[in-house]
Amino acid sequence: MGATALLLALLMSLAGFCLAKEAVEIGEEPWVEARMLKLSEELRCLVCQNETLASSRAELANDLRVEVRNLVKQGKTDPEIKDYLVARYGDFVLYRPEVKPLTWLLWFGPFAVLLGAAGMGWLYLRARKRHTARNALSAHDRARAEQLLNPVDRP
Amino acid sequence: MIVELGHYALILALLVALLQGVLPLVGAHRHNWHWQSLARPAAVLQFLLITLSFAALAYAFQANDFSVLYVAEHSNTRLPAMYRFAAVWGGHEGSLLLWLELLAVWTVSVALFSRQMPLAMVARVISVLGLISTGFLLFVLTTSNPFERLFPIPLEGKDLNPLLQDPGLVIHPPMLYMGYVGFSVAFAFAIAALLAGRLDVTWARWSRPWTLVAWVFLSFGIGLGSWWAYTELGWGGWWFWDPVENASLMPWLCGTALIHSLMVTEKRGSFKAWTVLLAISAFSLSLLGTFLVRSGVLNSVHAFASDPTRGVFILIFLAVVVGSSLSLFAWRAGAVSLGGEMAWVSRESVLLANSVLLVVATAAVLLGTLYPMVIDALNLGKLSVGPPYFDTVFVPLMVPVFFLMVLGVRARWRASTLQEWLHPLRRVGVLSLLTGALVAAYLGWSWGVALGMALGAWVVFGTLEPAIERLRKPGRIPLSFYAMHCAHLGMAMVLIGVTLVKGYELEKDVRIAAGDTITLGGYTFALQKVTEVPGPNYVAKRAEVLVTRDGQTVTTLFPEKRRYPSSAMPMTEAAIDTNLWRDLYVSLGEPLNNPAQEWSMRFYIKPFLSWIWLGVLMMVLGGLLGVSDRRYRRAAAVPLPAGATAA
Amino acid sequence: MRKIILLPLILFVLLLGFLAIGLRRDPHEIPSPLVNRVAPPFSLSTLQPEQALFSPEAMRGKVWMLNVWATWCAACQEEHPVLVSFAQEGLVPLVGLSYKEVQAADAPEGKPFTPEAKLALARQRSLAWLRAKGDPYSLVAMDLDGRVGIDYGVYGVPETYVIDKQGVIRYKQIGAVTPAVLAEKIRPLIQELNRS
């Protein structure tokens, strides 16, 4: 009786070992998961205040992630998947706005401003040089100033 | 009774603020010494009144006085005492009171630490601060009164937003507000100088330490906010380019440009108008941030509950403050002198480039933040502008800033030569490129990592080299020297941390049951069990995760999922093990309710993430060292020649 | 004085203008790209009769409305009386789309949750709810997993669509249908669509 109990306990502990396993990733295939995550990081969770589809735990976000996984498995490309979602939810769902005339100001604006500001800075430095050159002390004035500031004949 | 006292104190403070805002200013204009000398006492009186009001609200929280609507909305009897204090600024009305309190603190500091300035100047500065305070007091008393009563009095309050029940969130708003409000001092100095028609080197010298302290607080506040997001939100991120985050970054970028521009104005008398404009802009961006967060105009996780009336009030306030200051600027700033000579290659020109780059970066962030609203306002649709945009646009703009850091330190004032850069920097340049290439090759090639590491190494070597050279020479080294190098090294550390984390972080999102393990990056995480643990005002599910590496135990982590009775969404408390080389980050998701009793969990390995926080601390230290420099402390002891009080 | 010194002020006034307009907008409202496009096709089981299926094509030639709802949705409860009284007028047929009525948490202990079991539970709940609160729907299609909802760009129930005789979506209401919305937007649209 004691031996049976011992054997049973041993078997059960072994069974426990067999059941403990390497945890499985939520999405089954790593390559699907990787693509889904990369896409979802640029997609917006529509029911959250401001979160990506990748990180949100909302119900709709879960559903949309499943949808994206399915689309990836079907072999759709990234642009096709984005178009699929935009057709249903509008541009709002993209965190990276498409480059189209509506967003030219957004994408090219900063660099245009940079060029403009750099140009203004250059013009400023140049105008400045001319101005200070005009107002610079003449050699005579400079010598007088030197003398006044550092009188040589101090005891 | 105490609550009534607090309310009356606020009303009195409004009257004092109005007097403080008007009389000394008029007195400075009319050379009326009596009115000018009202400034300091008014500032002190306002400080006492607002502090009384703040204390009254804090008392109401500690005493669980639910007859006050604000207390009932943001606290309950089970809330730990520390959070009952922090709840004072947990909502819109109270956070405005915090703003007012800190503005009063800054104003009274200016009143106390300004003995060496002429009275007329002090009077103007304190007046401007008084006018700002008047605006905020009007706002609070008309639309956002924290002392409003609630009847019938509930037995129990609601709760402080669980997201805010964290030590980081206790000090993050005060630090941030110290920064925002601190830039109002730089603003006040700028306006005072414009009003006096006295935009000179001494103004820059007085203004600089105040601006630096504000910058230090803002840097610390932003860093804290980022750190808190990392530890609290459970998705492993620390910066999302959320509109409210951007609202704090913009004044910071402008403020950084300002402290560098002030250097040129103080040393060479140049860039006066530009520096004044930067001072006005930094504070304007603070006010704009206040508007964006409280008006409901933008989609953000941070936004306070929005109310259109409040939005309109702040908008009008913004219009008045910024509109009048920019008008004053347009009127008066044209007449300033240009200052000294400046060669094409000189420290001044490098600092000018720094200003331009930082201002363009600020403009880019502003554009991205407001674009969705602009497109919507024009009825052209709804779009989102998120991290992919900001990362693409902001990073290239900041690359030259890092590059110039090294050049600027080497360049001499007035005139420098390319030779002075090219020769000594050859070594640093080559070393940096090598470092970038080697690190990327060793850890897994990526151009982003190579560039980031090369740039980081450039700043590190390019900063250490002249520092060591200088240290070898005899002679006293001012604190400002250490300050500059410390701050620049801090920036480099942040850059290196960000580069390596983004380049090499690992993540696994798994279904896991007790007894299972997962391996990631050489570490093995074993979920031991998930138990239920009650807290003071929540119930948590706590997971125990044993982390081993090569068979050796590294640590045990306890991520939690907390349910607060007040919130439908459960709170994630991520478990993090930090050291200098990597963070191990585990967050508990949802139970999957399947036969295997699995939970969803996320595991991250984030290399060098702590360098980001250390870098921010270095920058803060650099700023503090800069303020402690002797020249600011000595200035108080220098006696002024007679007649200097007339402005 | 050079004119460029006025630039900051000019830019600021421009910004103020946009902020002022922005105050009147709701950043949470997302307009649908499906307006003026053909309603996406689907084929779903109906609430009653149990063996039938419903497709939007069946409504061609009529102006009709599709209302997305669920018994767990609080706003739907508020909207329901408005729909019931509107349906009584018999202006247009109102088709309900029962959206994700059954959730993972409803799974029976220990047993696998089969699609048939899910459908049965959803039907049971919806019928009970409609019997208690009134039934404005000419029929209800059961979207258990929310896939049709995704095709229709549903992101928060309740949502309502007005669809014309050619099967093109002409209007989407996000959030509850109120008497004001009915009066200002929906009734005029239905009148116009019925004329063509």
Give the pLDDT confidence score for residue B79 in this predicted structure. Answer: 87
Measured in whole angstroms, the distance separating CA A68 from the mean position of its chain's CA atoms is 21
Write the CA distances from B71 to B7, B90, B177, B559, C161, integer angstroms: 14, 10, 21, 31, 43
Q: Which of C102, C155, C169, C174 to mutate to test the interface with A (most CBs of A within 10 A)?
A: C155
Above 90 in pLDDT, residue A28? Answer: no
Is residue B614 in a domain? no
Same structural domain for residues B148 and B228?
no
Assigned domain for A121 exists: yes
Check whether C132 has a pLDDT greater than 50.
yes
Residues A91 and A114 in one domain: no
Same domain, B215 and B288: yes
Give the domain CATH number at A46.
1.10.8.640
Q: What is the pLDDT of residue A9?
A: 53
Is the domain of B468 the same as that of B539? no
* pLDDT exceeds cutoff 90 at C49: no
Q: Which residues of C touch A89 (CB under 8 A)?
A: 30, 32-33, 153, 155
Domain count, chain A: 2
Specify if B182 maps to a domain. Answer: yes
Chain B residue with minimal CA distance to C28? B299
Query: How many domains does chain C divide into?
Result: 1
Mutation site, A114, A123, A130, interface B, largest B CB count within 10 A: A114
- Fill in the amino acid letter for B111: A
Q: Does A58 share its domain with A114? A: no
Residue in chain B lying closest to A21 (CA): B516
Asked if omega into C27 is within 30° of 0 (cis), the reply is no
CB contact under 8 A, B326 and C8: yes
The answer on A67 and A47 residing in a single domain is: yes
B554-560 long-range CB contacts below 8 Å, 24 or more apart?
B554/B523, B554/B584, B555/B584, B557/B525, B557/B584, B557/B586, B559/B586, B559/B587, B559/B588, B559/B601, B560/B533, B560/B588
Q: Are residues B474 and B384 in the same domain?
A: no
* A70 within a domain of the structure (yes/no): yes
Same domain, B253 and B362: yes
Question: What pLDDT does C83 receive?
Answer: 93
- Please give the Cα distance from A101 to A103 (Å, whole number): 5
pLDDT for the residue numbered B419: 80
Q: Per-10-residue mean pLDDT for chain B, 647 residues long?
A: 93 96 93 92 96 96 92 89 90 93 96 90 95 95 92 85 81 93 96 89 90 96 92 84 94 96 90 93 94 82 73 93 95 78 85 94 96 91 92 94 91 82 85 93 90 95 90 88 94 96 89 88 91 88 92 91 79 90 91 79 93 97 91 56 44
Residues B212 and B356 in one domain: yes
Total domains present in chain B: 4
Same domain, B71 and B121: yes
In a domain, A18, yes or no: no
Residue A107 lies in a domain: yes
Residue B219 lies in a domain: yes
Structural domain boundaries, residue B438: 417-505+620-634
* pLDDT for the residue B211: 95
Are residues A85 and A113 located together in one domain of the fold? no
> Chain A closest CA to C180's CA: distance in Å?
25
B383 lies in a domain?
Answer: yes
| Residue B243 touches partner A, C-beta closer than 8 Å | yes
What sign does the CA torsion over B256, B257, B262, B268 have?
positive
Instruction: Judge: B315–C18 Cβ closer than 8 Å, yes or no.
Output: no
Give the residue numbers spanning the domain of C186.
30-195
For residues B599 and B496, membership in a common domain is answered with no
Q: Are residues A106 and A71 in the same domain?
A: no
On whether both B397 and B512 belong to a single domain, the answer is no
Q: Are residues A34 and A92 in the same domain?
A: yes
Mean pLDDT across A8-15? 51
Residue C155 and residue A60: Cβ atoms within 8 Å? yes
- Residue A2 belongs to some domain of the structure: no
- Asked if residue A69 is part of any domain, the answer here is yes
Is residue C3 assigned to a domain? no
Mutate to test the interface with A, among B232, B356, B572 (most CBs of A within 10 A): B356
- Kindly state whether residues B253 and B283 are assigned to the same domain: yes
Decide if C33 and A89 are in contact by the 8 Å CB cutoff: yes
- Domain of C58, CATH number, reads 3.40.30.10
Task: Give how far Cα B161 sits from Cα of B27, B65, C189, Å.
Answer: 47, 18, 43
Q: What is the pLDDT of residues B65-93, one digit of tens each?
A: 999 999 999 988 888 888 999 999 988 99
pLDDT of residue C22: 87
- For A125, the domain range is 102-149
* Residue written as token pair 């103080």: B266
**Chain A residues touching residue B388 (CB < 8 angstroms):** 42, 95-96
User: Does residue B344 belong to the interface with chain A, where contact is any CB pair within 8 Å?
Assistant: yes
Q: What percent of chain B has pLDDT over 90?
A: 62
Looking at the structure, tell me whether residues B40 and B179 fall in a common domain. Answer: no
Give the predicted TM-score (pTM) of the model: 0.90
**Cα distance from A9 to chain C (closest Cα, Å)?**
26
Task: Summarize pLDDT for A88-126 with one digit per residue, the tens.
Answer: 999 999 999 999 999 999 999 999 999 999 998 888 888
Decide: residue B158, CB within 10 A, 0-12 exposed, 13-18 middle, 19+ buried.
Answer: middle
pLDDT score at A20? 66
- In this complex, which chains have at least 3 CB pairs below 8 Å with chain A? B, C
Determine, for residues C155 and A87 on separate chains, whether the beta-carbon distance falls below 8 Å: no
Task: Give yes or no: residues B87 and B14 share one domain.
Answer: yes
Helices of type H across B144-242: 167-196, 201-232
Is there a domain that residue A21 lies in?
no
Nearest to C32 among A63, A67, A90 (CB): A90
